[in-house]
Amino acid sequence: MSDRSKIRITGGNFTQSAVGIGSIYQHNTAEQATAGDLRSALAEGRAEIIALGRDDTDRVRLAHGLDQVQEELAASEPDADIVRGGWKSVLKVLDAGAAATSSVVKISEFIRSLFGT
């Protein structure tokens, strides 16, 4: 195995984290994602993601970002820039370990698949 295919993480505890290369999910792949899949992943991961905030201010910012994405996804033609911007605001609040949780990784892949980077 070359050094390019190794991942080394030190100095933290990670629970329910998904670290990997590629887009592999138990039930869906990012390439087959639909807006409904993204809405479901957001709803299922909402409480977990908000709980990842370091304090009340972070938790409010996370909830706002998630609400912004959900609200835009409810539109008949969601604006990709708004969805990506709302999700980026969520990712900015999370530290690297929190951003590696399975729900965050899954949502990121769905957004990338549906709306690009």
Question: Is 44 a domain residue?
Answer: yes
Question: Is 26 a domain residue?
Answer: no
Q: What Cα–Cα distance (Å) separates residue 37 from each residue in 7, 8, 19, 69? A: 29, 31, 21, 13
Which whole number is the average pLDDT over 93-117?
Answer: 90
CA angle 91, 34, 95 (to 5 degrees): 10
* Bridge partners, residue 17, by sequence: 101
Question: Is 8 a domain residue?
Answer: no
Question: Is 82 a domain residue?
Answer: yes
Alpha-carbon Rg of the chain, whole angstroms?
Answer: 15
Question: Is 71 a domain residue?
Answer: yes
**What is the pTM for the complete model shown?**
0.72
Question: Is 21 a domain residue?
Answer: no
Write the pLDDT tens digit of every residue in 62-81. 999 999 999 999 999 999 99
| Residue 39 pLDDT class (50, 70, 90 cuts) | very high
Its domain, for residue 70, covers: 33-115
Question: Is 41 a domain residue?
Answer: yes
Q: What's residue 116's pLDDT? A: 86
| Residue 34 pLDDT class (50, 70, 90 cuts) | confident
Give the total number of structural domains in the chain.
1
Q: What's residue 28's pLDDT? A: 42
